């Protein structure tokens, strides 16, 4: 039947509806008149029922022809929501739906090409980051070693001790940056297991809110109690949540409201929202937040790799992350994860 529909000429949806209505009405009316003129008695009822059945059958066939392309688009959209950009929609059916299917396929081709190009650029950047980090870590380790030796030689009251502490502090800061580069370059494969996202979020909040910077912040949770277990790597998701919570708290230096919400939607996905009432992010920076080494923090207070790592982990889970913000009102990060990961990921 699908092959038959595919061979039909491309006509407009409006024309199909008009022709279908006319045909159904004509068949029903014709058979009704035939029954009235040629048939009498009980056979008249049989012919009338036959007219109704034929009209109903034609209506079903037309409905399948019209809804087939729509159902294909709906199914393809669900697969794209789960991160599958290889799906394609057959480009047949009514003219409008065929055009829509072709546009849908063209959009997926563009997204796939952009994603592959971004993956290649990211892989090159990761190799560069790993090389730079290794080259920096070795001399830093030597500097820190000699600082400790000099500290022991000078003693606690030496006037040069303050200079040594400054050297040690700055060297350790450089080492933290180098370690962040290594973390960024070492994209570990995820180890999926059944994960209670609500419990993980509550545990992260319980641990992180003990830090002093969380003291003036009011944390509010709205966790969906019906949230199912998801296939995910809890260690890597913990890193995502810690990064987002710390960014939110740092955006509220004088205190504020930190809202955490989970929900089971769209279909097949769970969604987490991390919203703050902080200073907000200028519109020109929103599209650059997930780029490696981009940061809005003052010099020396951020590497610009935190959100890049967050985005990478979410993508590895076949999820999506987005951000909305208004200057002076706050920022909301939203990420969605599939409940079930593809079999090839789980089997690794």
Q: What is the CATH number of domain 117-185?
A: 1.10.287
The CA–CA distances, whole Å, from 142 to 131, 179, 189 equal 18, 16, 32
- CATH assignment, 193-346: 3.30.565.10
What tens digit of pLDDT does each residue of 1-13 get? Answer: 445 444 444 445 5
Phi and psi, residue 330, nearest 5°? 130, 180
- The pTM of this model reads 0.58
CA distance linking residue 293 with residue 271, whole number of Å: 26
Q: β-strands 217-222, 256-263: how paired?
A: parallel
250-256: long-range pairs with CB below 8 Å, 24+: 250/213, 250/297, 251/276, 251/278, 251/279, 251/280, 251/330, 251/331, 252/216, 252/217, 252/276, 252/277, 252/278, 252/279, 254/216, 255/216, 255/217, 255/218, 256/216, 256/217, 256/218, 256/330
Question: For residue 84, what is the enclosing H or E element?
Answer: none
Which mean pLDDT values do the consecutive 10-residue runs of the chain (348 residues) have?
47 56 65 61 67 69 67 75 72 71 81 68 65 76 85 73 83 78 69 93 92 92 94 92 93 92 89 94 88 71 77 89 92 93 66
For the chain, what are the domain ranges? 2-93, 117-185, 193-346
Give the side-chain half-sphere CA count within 13 A for 154. 16
Task: Say what the pLDDT of residue 185 is.
Answer: 63
Using only C-alpha atoms, the chain has a radius of gyration, in whole angstroms, of 31
Mean pLDDT (the chain) is 78
- Non-local (6+) Cβ contacts of 160 within 8 A are 150, 154
- Return the pLDDT at 110: 81
């Amino acid at each position: 039947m699908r092959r038959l529909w595919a061979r039909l000429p491309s006509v407009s949806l409006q024309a199909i509806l008009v022709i279908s209505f006319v045909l159904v009405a004509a068949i029903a009316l014709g058979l009704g008149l035939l029954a009235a003129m040629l048939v009498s008695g009980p056979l008249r009822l049989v012919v009338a029922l036959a007219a109704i059945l034929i009209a109903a059958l034609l209506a079903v066939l037309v409905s399948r022809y019209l809804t087939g392309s729509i159902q294909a688009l709906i199914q393809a959209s669900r697969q794209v929501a789960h991160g599958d950009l290889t799906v394609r929609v057959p480009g047949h059916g009514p003219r409008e739906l065929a055009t829509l299917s072709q546009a849908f396929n063209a959009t997926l081709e563009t997204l796939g090409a952009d994603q592959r190009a971004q993956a290649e650029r990211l892989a090159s950047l990761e190799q560069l980051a790993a090389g730079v980090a290794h080259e920096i870590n070795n001399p830093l380790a030597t500097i820190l070693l000699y600082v400790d030796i000099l500290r022991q030689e000078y003693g606690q009251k030496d006037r040069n001790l303050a200079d040594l502490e400054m050297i040690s502090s700055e060297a350790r800061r450089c080492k933290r940056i180098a370690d962040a580069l290594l973390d960024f370059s070492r994209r570990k494969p995820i180890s999926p297991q059944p994960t209670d996202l609500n419990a993980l979020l509550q545990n992260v909040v319980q641990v992180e809110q003990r830090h002093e910077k969380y003291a003036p912040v009011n944390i509010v949770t709205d966790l969906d109690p019906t949230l199912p277990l998801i296939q995910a790597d809890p260690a890597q998701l913990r890193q995502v949540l810690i990064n987002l919570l710390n960014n939110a708290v740092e955006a509220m230096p004088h205190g504020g409201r930190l809202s955490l919400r989970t929900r089971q939607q769209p279909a097949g996905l769970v969604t987490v929202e991390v919203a703050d009432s902080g200073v907000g992010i200028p519109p020109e920076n929103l599209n650059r937040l997930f780029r490696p080494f981009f940061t809005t923090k003052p010099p020396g207070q951020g590497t610009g790799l935190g959100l890049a790592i967050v985005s990478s982990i979410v993508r590895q889970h076949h999820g999506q992350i987005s951000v909305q913000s208004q200057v002076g009102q706050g920022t909301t990060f939203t990420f969605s994860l599939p409940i079930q990961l593809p079999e090839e990921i789980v089997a690794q």
